[in-house]
Every structure is written in C-alpha cells, then in structure tokens.
Amino acid sequence: SVVEDTPKSYTAAASSSSGDNVRKGAAGHVAAGVPPEHIMMIQKSAAQISTATNNTRDLHDRVVSFQDDWKQVINRPKPSVLTPQALENNVKSLIMDYDRVKDEISRRDELIKSLDDRNRDLQKRVDKAAMIAQQLLDEKVKTVESSSDSKLEKDRVIMKLQEEINRAANERDDAVSYTHLTLPTKRIV
C-alpha cells in the first residue's frame, strides 16, 4: 500500500526540528557538494510526501469505518412481517444509503487518485533533486581530482627545474674552481 511503502527517511527528514539546512559530516564539518537550496527542496518534498501519506492514512481509516457501518446496515435483522408502507420505507432507505455510499466511495476514489498523482509528482521532484545533487557532487570530485593532478604536475616541474638549477650551479662552481686551479699565478718581483 502507499502508506506502508513510504520510506521512513522522508518522514524523518520532514520532522527535523533543528531548522538547519546545512548537512554536517561525522567530524561536524559542513558537507560539501549539495547546496542548501537542494537540501531544503528535498526536505520540503519529504514534508509534502509525509502530509500526503498522513492524508491517505486518514482516508483509509474513514473507508474502514464506513465499511463497518455498511456491514451493520446490511446485517441488521430483518423484520418478519412488514407492512407495505414499512417495506417501501425500508427499500427507499436502503436505496438512499446505497446512493450515499456510492457517492462517498466515488469521492474517495477520486481523492485517492489525486493523492497518488501528487505523490508520483513529488517523488519525481525528489528524484530529480537527488540526481542533480549527485551530479554536482560528482563534478566537485572531478574538479578536486583535476586540481590535485595539476598541482602534482606543477610540483614535478618545479622539482625538475630546481634540479637543473642545482646542476648548473654545481657546474658553474666546478668551472670556477677549475679555472682558479689552472690559471698561473703571477709573481710580483
């Protein structure tokens, strides 16, 4: 049934009393990747689904109550001898009860259909919001990975250039040392 298939997480999200629209991770830091607007939209959708579920439960209770009343009317003891006028009144009463029940069932069927349509629409909205949130999270992960890869490549280039600078400096120092050793020193006489 619609009532029993409603996930508990929807009603739990809808009944959150903290008022916080920002999710927090295990360490208490703000969760990244899902904008607060999307979380708020998901929470509003969950609240609407919860309301629709409660309405469906109420409707179900009313139908059960009506069904019990109808059974009492049907199972009421039949009089052994009725006058034609009493029989006519009983038949009219039954016809009126039947018409009333028929109208009530028709009205409730329309209400149930309306609630089902609304639940499907809300579920589509929640699914779409969750999909968008996941796409944004995936994009963020890709961006972070790309940024990290770029930083690593930049660090490698810097290290390579630093090694070349050190090698050139060592070669220069060696050349200066060699030049000082091979040059003849002049004596002043």
Q: How many CB atoms lie within 10 A of CB 1?
A: 8
**Residues forming beta bridges with residue 24, ordered by sequence position:** 30
pLDDT beyond 90 at 71: no
Sign of CA dihedral 100, 101, 106, 109: positive
For residue 19, what pLDDT is reported?
43
CB 97 within 8 A of CB 45: no
User: Confidence class of residue 161 from pLDDT cuts 50, 70 and 90?
Assistant: very high
User: Confidence class of residue 27 from pLDDT cuts 50, 70 and 90?
Assistant: very low
pLDDT beyond 60 at 4: no
More confident residue, 107 or 16: 107
For residue 93, give Cα distances in angstroms to 29, 59, 90, 97: 68, 25, 5, 6
Determine the average pLDDT of the residues in 22-43.
Answer: 70
More confident residue, 145 or 184: 145
Q: For 34, left (φ over 0), alpha (ψ -120 to 50), or beta?
A: beta
More confident residue, 16 or 51: 51
For residue 95, what pLDDT is reported?
94
pLDDT beyond 50 at 53: yes
pLDDT tens per residue across span 75-119: 877 656 778 888 888 899 999 999 999 999 999 999 999 999 999
Q: How many CB atoms lie within 10 A of CB 42?
A: 19
Q: Residue 47: which residues within 8 A CB-CB, separation 6 or more?
A: 13, 14
User: Confidence class of residue 186 from pLDDT cuts 50, 70 and 90?
Assistant: low
Q: What is the pTM of this model?
A: 0.35
For residue 188, what pLDDT is reported?
62
DSSP assignment of 18-72: S---S-B-TTSPBPPSS-HHHHHHHHHHHHHHHHHHHHHHHHHHHHHHHHHHHHH
User: Confidence class of residue 61 from pLDDT cuts 50, 70 and 90?
Assistant: very high
pLDDT tens per residue across span 101-113: 999 999 999 999 9
CB 137 within 8 A of CB 33: yes
User: Confidence class of residue 5 from pLDDT cuts 50, 70 and 90?
Assistant: very low
